[in-house]
Every structure is written in C-alpha cells, then in structure tokens.
C-alpha cells in the first residue's frame, strides 16, 4: 500500500459542521529576503477561539509568518484577511502604514520572546499598557489607569508593582506586562512569539496557565509560535509544522504529535526529549 504524501493529500477537507467562518485567512504568502526564501506559498486559516501552534526549527519561517500576521512586514505576494466587525473584506497588505497601525492597535495583540521589542523598558508597567490604549484613542487618565489595572490583573501581574518599570522586573513579570498590553483592548487575535522561551520552567507553567485561562474565559483566538513541542502540545488545538519557509504538515495537535505524516515532522517528534 502506498501513501500519498503530497501537500494536497495532507490538507484536510473543507469544514462541514463548523458554522463559524475563519477569523484569519492567509493565502499563498511568499517572502524573499535577498537570496533567502523566508516563506514559500504559505496558506493559513485560524478559526475563532482556537489556538493555532506553529512549530519548526530556527529559520523555518515561523516568526516571519507571525510578523506578517502582525502587519509588520509585507510579503512579495499573497493575501491576508481578518474577519472583523464593521470591516469589509480586503487584503490587509494593501492598507497604508497608518491604517495598519490602527488595525493592529485595536484588533491584534502580540507578545514577543524579547520583551525589549514589545515594551518601553523605562516607562512604568501601567504606562506601557496605557500606551496601547492611547494609540486607540483613549484620553481620560482615570480610564487609562483603570483599564491598565484591569489588563495587568487579568495577566496575573501583581498590582502592587504596576508602577515599576519593566527593566526592574523579572523575565516572567515582563512577559505578563507584554501580555497585559496585548490584551488591553480585547483583541480579536493574540500573537505569541516564543512567549515562554528563556523563562525557568515554573514561571513558564504559570505564564502558560494564564494564557490558557485568557483563551478560555475571553475566547481570544491565539497563534502561538514555539520551538518547544511540549508548549505547543499543551496549548494548541491545531498545529502547523514549518520547514524552509513551507508548511510541510498541519493537523490536530494530538494527531501531529502521535501520528506525524511528514518525514520532517516524524524527525521533529522523535527528537523530543
């Protein structure tokens, strides 16, 4: 018996029971930096309320894809749409820089592996969260303070330290401030780029639990990039496996880890300690 291992065979059927439309749809995204083909014809679909995990070795294109989702970069080709209330469909890559900034501020949150990318290290933690609210147009000091407090609390950040600067905080606390900033406006989509890498295991577990609770209670749709298969297995509903800028396999998280179909995915799963 021979198995058809073509990408088409590995792409599952169209949904029949799921009544919701995808929140995020990316079609045929390609990007080249100099001689490096960072993304090759990538398709991605994420449904409301789910956690999509993206795994792959360094340089596989997973963080590049996440940056595209956050409209930080523009691909050489491809379409990107988000199904948002009061917004017409259209390729988000066609938006102006200002429009992208406003859309991201209101609808997309991101947590970077390196807090320096996501935070103003010498501003207070509450000020970092308030900055996101200011971009979205909030001006009342009392409202800013109250909303920052609420977001920090939801991220399980100790409120006694909300006026501390991130530079004075541990890595785990800095990630919580990033998370509070990312969720302050209740985004439709939360992007997480290696959010627990570099944290010790006990702090990692606490951050993952906070994320899971936020996803459960607020129904936030998440895209989680990690090279840590344990993190992805714990958190994700579905998984995309990337290699050399391509999606080589995608499926339900337990299926990808228990019955990987692609030789690279088998290699990846078997290499896990």
Partner 1 sequence: MNSTPLLRVDGLTKTFRMYHLDSMLHAFEGVSFDLFEGEFLLLRGHNGAGKSTLLRTIWRSYLPVGGHVWYRSNHGEIDLANAADVDIALLRREEIGFVTQFLNARPRVAAQDIVAEPLLLAGTSQAEALDQARHWLDQFGVRPELWRAYPSTFSGGEQQKVNLARALILPQKLLLLDEPTASLDVGARAALVRRLSDLKAQGVAIIGVFHHPGDVAQLIDREINLNTKVVADQSEEEENVAL
Stated length of the chain: 273
Q: Whole-angstrom Cα distance, residue 196 to residue 186? A: 21
Q: Which is nearer to partner 1, 30 or 255 (CB)?
A: 255
Sign for the pseudo-dihedral over CA of 62, 239, 173, 130: positive
Q: Which is nearer to partner 1, 102 or 171 (CB)?
A: 171
Q: Which is nearer to partner 1, 185 or 208 (CB)?
A: 208
**In the complex, minimum distance from the CB of residue 21 to partner 1, in angstroms, rounded to a whole number:** 11
Q: Whole-angstrom Cα distance, residue 72 to residue 104? A: 9
Contacts to partner 1 by CB under 8 A: 1, 3, 12-19, 47, 50, 201-202, 205-206, 208-209, 212, 216-217, 234, 237-238, 250-252, 254-255, 258-259, 261, 263, 266-267, 270
Q: Which is nearer to partner 1, 8 or 201 (CB)?
A: 201
Q: Which is nearer to partner 1, 103 or 252 (CB)?
A: 252
Structure tokens at 196: 């627990």
**In the complex, minimum distance from the CB of residue 223 to partner 1, in angstroms, rounded to a whole number:** 15
Q: 88 by DSSP, 3-state: which?
A: coil
DSSP-derived pairing of the beta strands 24-33 and 36-46? antiparallel
Q: Whole-angstrom Cα distance, residue 30 to residue 40? A: 5
**In the complex, minimum distance from the CB of residue 34 to partner 1, in angstroms, rounded to a whole number:** 32
Are 133 and 213 in contact, with CB atoms under 8 Å apart? no
**In the complex, minimum distance from the CB of residue 57 to partner 1, in angstroms, rounded to a whole number:** 17
**In the complex, minimum distance from the CB of residue 221 to partner 1, in angstroms, rounded to a whole number:** 12
Q: How far apart are the first and last CA of the chain?
A: 32
């Amino acid at each position: 018996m021979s198995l058809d291992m073509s990408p088409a065979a590995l792409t599952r059927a169209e949904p029949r029971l799921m009544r919701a439309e995808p929140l995020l749809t990316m079609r045929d995204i390609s990007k080249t930096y100099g001689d490096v083909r960072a993304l090759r014809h990538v398709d991605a679909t994420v449904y409301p309320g789910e956690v999509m995990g993206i795994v792959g070795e360094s340089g596989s294109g997973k963080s590049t894809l996440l940056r595209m989702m956050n409209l930080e970069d523009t691909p050489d080709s491809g379409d990107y749409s988000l199904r948002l209330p009061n917004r017409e469909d259209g390729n988000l890559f066609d938006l102006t820089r200002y429009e992208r900034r406003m859309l991201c501020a209101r609808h997309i949150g991101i947590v970077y592996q390196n807090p320096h990318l996501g935070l103003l290290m010498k501003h207070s933690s509450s000020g970092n969260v308030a900055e996101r609210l200011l971009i979205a147009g909030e001006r009342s000091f009392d409202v800013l303070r109250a909303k920052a407090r609420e977001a920090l609390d939801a991220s399980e950040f100790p409120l006694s330290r909300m006026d501390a600067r991130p530079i004075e905080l541990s890595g785990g606390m800095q990630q919580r401030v990033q998370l509070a900033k990312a969720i302050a406006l209740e985004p439709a989509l939360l992007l997480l780029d290696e959010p627990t890498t570099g944290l010790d295991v006990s702090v990692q577990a606490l951050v993952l639990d906070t994320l899971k609770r936020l996803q459960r209670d607020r129904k936030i749709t998440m895209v989680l990039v990690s090279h840590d298969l344990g993190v992805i297995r714990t958190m994700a509903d579905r998984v995309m496996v990337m290699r050399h800028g391509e999606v080589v396999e995608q499926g339900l998280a337990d299926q990808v880890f228990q019955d990987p179909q692609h030789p690279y995915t088998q290699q990846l799963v078997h290499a896990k300690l």
